Amino acid sequence: MNQIGFRMQLNEGQTVEYRRRHDEIWPELLVLLKKAGISDYSIFFHEETNSLFAVLRRAHDHTMDQLPLDPIMQRWWAYMADIMASDNNNEPIVEPLERVFHMA
């Protein structure tokens, strides 16, 4: 397993809606993420900047790079595109973050 972190941007005023949608996350999306080798996935919110910080663990043989091709993932991104910064195909704009410290 390796761990990665990244930042996304939530549109202003969308915190409650973002939380609601994740409280009601689709079971088929969770299955898809787990099947891709993703586990221990958390998203944190920074209120002053509307930034979302995500950290997850993924298997060394993960298939995260195939997720954009899956119809479930595409539907989720389309569902979320109105409340967060997204590109032309509705994929959230993700800024990878470099780990500078880790305590195991």
Catalytic residues: 22
Q: Count of residues for the chain?
A: 104
| Cα angle 92-59-20, degrees, rounded to a multiple of 5 | 40
Cα–Cα dist 74/59, whole Å: 22
Q: Which two tokens stand for residue 74?
A: 């595409």
